[in-house]
Structure 1
Amino acid sequence: MNARITTAPTRREFLGHLIRRPWRYPWSALAVLLLAGIIGLAAYFAGWQIWGEVHYRAALRSIEQATSSQTRANLEQALAQLKLCLQVRPRSLDTHFLAARTARRLHLYDEAEEHLSRCKKLDGVPEALSLEQALIQVQRADLGSEGFLWACVQKDHPDKLLILEALALGYLQTYRFKDALAALDLWLKEEPHALQAYVWRAELNKRLSGSDYLDAIHDSEQALALDANCDEARLNLAEVLLHKNMAREAAVHFAYLIDRQPGNVAPTLGLAKCKYRLGEAEEARKLFDRLLRVRPEDPEILSESAKLLLSTKQFGDAEEKLRRSLRVAPYEREALFDLSRCLELQGRKAEAQKYRDEYNRVEKDMAALKEVTRTIMESHKNPDLRRQAAQILLRNGKYADALMWLNSALLEDRQSAETWLLLAECYQKLEKPEESAVCRANAAQLQRRIIP
């Protein structure tokens, strides 16, 4: 009888048997399943980490692009990418730090401080965290670390450009225009493609140029050369051109912005002003009517549309719109002047004189404010001058601007009962009774210390 000779199955045959009849090889099947699971899990985690790295690198690209194009949009995109990355790497020090910096540049200060807090728990470099905290403070108009930051700039710190950006913003918010201009000039010298620096300097030069505006036009054009879709720079340029009575040139930019921002009132109002100045009355009227359907009680729209009515001798309609405008904004110079002229043209000279006198008073106040502002630029640490500016603004219904001046005065001297009382009045006008009560309490506490 011949013995049957059996041979061991080959590897391929064994795998075939294992797949077709796994119950015959339970331990081998289990080992294969475990191995496949481990490989799958490793692939999953590797893919997850790669996904996080992709978002981190995308954030870096967006931050780099933010230098010369669509600054805010690119920074917002970068922050969104960093948040996705943190879903994968919740303990990544680099990602939290970059998210803190990006949030700060977007003026999201609470969010920035949350990321800095995480960085501190993750043993972040103390010097880097301290610098970032100082930048948050200066952007919040607290310039206590100003000397330290300028020292970093002079030592050619790696983050010099970001420091100059924060300083410029802090100076702009505290009306230290001369210092803001110095920071912006140095920023652009170091980084000639800094879009945000051109936009801010154009706005600042518009304030400082008087009737010339050449520097403001130059900076706006430089910004648009870097990024033709920078709507902020284009709107600024259009408004400056309109101020220079270059209505035809301004109209081109306003029309471009309307196509890009159909829901934004500012370019439509600008184009309506241009059409009026160019003598295209019917086109101007259509634009004003469209605006008044959206914002029927907007004082500027009412006042500007009244100019068109005056030019066509529709005195009754013009008077009605000017009175509506002054009910909302009773101290607006142009509306006061135009209403005086409208009444005078109707033969109501005594009533017209009343509005002309108010116009002259406001005009005198605005001239005084301009002089105080100029003096503040030379002596920015004087809180009395800041209070004086705020008082002029309060007297003329500019409550939000007055609030900014008073807050900047507090940064120089928190022990002034007068400043706290003016703040209380300002908050009351802004219909914020709780804030007003706190300011009155602070003033009373300081007065008790002074009066024995």
Structure 2
Amino acid sequence: MSNRKGPSLKTLVWSSLILLGSAGAIIGVVASRSHEAAREREKAAATAALSQGKFDAAATHLNRWLAIDPRSAEAHALSAQVALETGDLGRVSSELNEARALGFPEPGLERVHALVLARMGRFGEAEPILTRELARTPDAAAVLEALALVYLKTYRLHDAEALITRWMRVQPDAARPYVWRAEIDRRMQADTSIELETDYREALRRDPGLEVARLGLAELLRRAHRGAEAAAEYEIYLKARPDDPTALAGAGQNAVDLGRIDEGLKLADAALAVDPDNVTALRGRAAAELSRGDPESALKRLDRCLKLNPFDSEALYTRSLVRARLGQADEARADLETVERLKREQAELLTVRDKLMAAPDDNGLRAQVAAWMLAHGRADEAVEWARTILASAPKHRAANRIMAEYYDTQPDGSGLANYHRLQAADADAGAEQR
């Protein structure tokens, strides 16, 4: 027999510990690599979904990415962009701050900031940043979209269309470029054009759940007196958004136009329950009451409608019919005269718009549009135009006066109103800045 002894117990214990330690190290390396691989998978999926305009999917992957790596500055920056796209502006700010605190490069944050500015209507501030970003990343869909929005809102429609065409090439399966191209037709006053309908349908073919395209198509079909088709689109939309007062009011008006009076009343009342000042619902209910032989109730609805919006030509025309039926001939005539005046004023705006399309950077023409908007109850649009002017010409007299007049109507707006009056007063005595 051999007299060789086996390894001692101590040696066996140490060997086991060494093996366990090595195994643990190997497991740790494998886990780390698995962790890193999972993070990269979620990052790739998030950026792909974001580039394709699939914001819900992008949010899901970003949340998983942040669960793996909560201190990822890039993930927080992308989350800010998703929050912007989904309308969660409060989260945009918090995510940007977090990305900045974690060291995300400032130029990348500037891009998201510019996207926010564009969505807020601060086009003059957004445009130079977006222009630089587009030169740096010519295929960035988010930048193409935001700059197209700036051009659309300032009537540089040809420039907007060129960007939208580029966007379509970058994202051939994206639906939203078609919605923006439809907006060009709307701004051309082509509310019932074949091109507008085609773009809405192309958007819906790519994304049947794109609500803005669905509602836009429904409204288009209603205005074109294609009531049965409009009703079908409203029905699809309202299944997803049953409490949307705009859709309820439009569907109600459409039902009345089709002679379905009870349905129209029900839909109008549902809209007014959500939004008591919905002008379309008030008009629809008035039309239904008139059809039921109740002109007195219809008149009350139309009076309220016109108190809310004195420039509603459709309500004025309907009220003229109601007043004529009630024997109020002078009042009916006055309403018709107002309708004709508003038509002339609308034609004047369209003339300015046509000039602006040929000279989109003319601040004098922009100021005329802003003044018209303010005078016709469209203050938000007036402010958009005035701010665009002031971004390039801070002392532009007319734009500052428009802003002063606007702030005079706002709670706690006296300070800003005085500021803009001072800016207007400081303007040179000669020609205004261009």
TM interval, short-chain normalised: 0.7 to 0.9
Using the TM superposition, give the Cα deviation of residue 98 of structure 1 relative to its aligned residue in structure 2, in angstroms.
Answer: 5.1
Change (3 A) 1:122 1:275: closer
**Equivalent of 1:389 in 351, 354, 369:** 369
In structure 2, give the amino acid aligned to 1:286: K
Match of 2:41 in 1: 54
Task: Write the distance in 1 (CA, Å) between the matches of 2:71 and 2:267.
Answer: 54
The answer to whether the 8 Å contact 1:340/1:353 transfers is yes
Task: Write the distance in 1 (CA, Å) between the matches of 2:393 and 2:85.
Answer: 28
Kindly tell me the number of residue pairs found equivalent between the two proteins. 422
In structure 2, give the amino acid aligned to 1:433: D
SS of the aligned residue for 2:208 comes to: coil
Match of 1:141 in 2: 123
Listed as ranges, the matches of 1:346-357 within 5 Å are 346-357=326-337
Match of 1:8 in 2: 6
SS of the aligned residue for 2:123 comes to: coil
Change (3 A) 1:438 1:295: closer
The answer to whether the 8 Å contact 1:202/1:236 transfers is no
The answer to whether the 8 Å contact 1:340/1:355 transfers is yes
Match of 1:22 in 2: none
The answer to whether the 8 Å contact 2:390/2:399 transfers is yes
Change (3 A) 1:420 1:270: same
* Percent identity over paired residues: 27
Match of 2:399 in 1: 419
Using the TM superposition, give the Cα deviation of residue 427 of structure 1 relative to its aligned residue in structure 2, in angstroms.
Answer: 2.9
Listed as ranges, the matches of 1:136-175 within 5 Å are 140-142=122-124, 143-144=127-128, 159=139, 161=141, 163-175=143-155
Using the TM superposition, give the Cα deviation of residue 218 of structure 1 relative to its aligned residue in structure 2, in angstroms.
Answer: 0.9
**Equivalent of 1:228 in 192, 203, 208:** 208
Change (3 A) 1:91 1:176: same
**Equivalent of 2:421 in 443, 448, 451:** 443
Provide Cα deviations, 1:113-168, integer angstroms capped at 9, x if missing partner.
Answer: 6587579x5679x7x8888887777775233367767766xxxx662655533321
Change (3 A) 1:207 1:103: same
Q: Which has the larger radius of gyration?
A: 1
Match of 2:311 in 1: 331
**Equivalent of 1:311 in 291, 305, 319:** 291
Match of 1:200 in 2: 180
Higher relative contact order (CA 8 A, sep 6+): 2
Match of 1:245 in 2: 225
Q: Does 1:264 align with 2:244?
A: yes
**Equivalent of 1:398 in 367, 371, 378:** 378
Match of 1:21 in 2: none
Task: Write the distance in 1 (CA, Å) between the matches of 2:140 and 2:244.
Answer: 36
Q: Normalising by structure 2, what TM-score?
A: 0.82
In structure 1, give the amino acid aligned to 2:40: E
Task: Write the distance in 1 (CA, Å) between the matches of 2:370 and 2:105.
Answer: 45
The answer to whether the 8 Å contact 2:299/2:319 transfers is yes
Change (3 A) 1:449 1:404: closer
In structure 1, give the amino acid aligned to 2:234: F
Task: Write the distance in 2 (CA, Å) between the matches of 1:106 and 1:443.
Answer: 37
In structure 2, give the amino acid aligned to 1:447: A
Change (3 A) 1:354 1:236: same
Match of 1:85 in 2: 65
Per mean C-alpha deviation after superposition, the further-off stretch among 314-323 and 43-52 is 43-52
In structure 2, give the amino acid aligned to 1:339: R
Task: Write the distance in 2 (CA, Å) between the matches of 1:7 and 1:315.
Answer: 115
Task: Write the distance in 1 (CA, Å) between the matches of 2:117 and 2:266.
Answer: 47
Alpha-carbon RMSD across the aligned residues, in angstroms, is 3.8
Using the TM superposition, give the Cα deviation of residue 177 of structure 1 relative to its aligned residue in structure 2, in angstroms.
Answer: 2.2
Per mean C-alpha deviation after superposition, the further-off stretch among 251-260 and 171-180 is 171-180
The answer to whether the 8 Å contact 1:269/1:301 transfers is yes
Task: Write the distance in 2 (CA, Å) between the matches of 1:272 and 1:218.
Answer: 25
**Equivalent of 2:278 in 277, 298, 317:** 298
Q: Does 1:219 align with 2:199?
A: yes
Match of 2:432 in 1: none
Task: Write the distance in 1 (CA, Å) between the matches of 2:380 and 2:74.
Answer: 39
Task: Write the distance in 2 (CA, Å) between the matches of 1:233 and 1:164.
Answer: 19
Task: Write the distance in 1 (CA, Å) between the matches of 2:105 and 2:308.
Answer: 54
SS of the aligned residue for 1:433 comes to: coil
Per mean C-alpha deviation after superposition, the further-off stretch among 390-399 and 175-184 is 175-184
Task: Write the distance in 1 (CA, Å) between the matches of 2:157 and 2:280.
Answer: 27
Change (3 A) 1:209 1:46: same
Change (3 A) 1:131 1:28: same
In structure 2, give the amino acid aligned to 1:397: G
Q: Normalising by structure 1, what TM-score?
A: 0.79
In structure 1, give the amino acid aligned to 2:243: G
Provide Cα deviations, 1:344-379, integer angstroms capped at 9, x if missing partner.
Answer: 210112233333333333332222222222221111
Task: Write the distance in 2 (CA, Å) between the matches of 1:159 and 1:189.
Answer: 9
Q: Structure 1: 5+ residue runs without aligned partners?
A: 19-24
Task: Write the distance in 1 (CA, Å) between the matches of 2:186 and 2:295.
Answer: 34
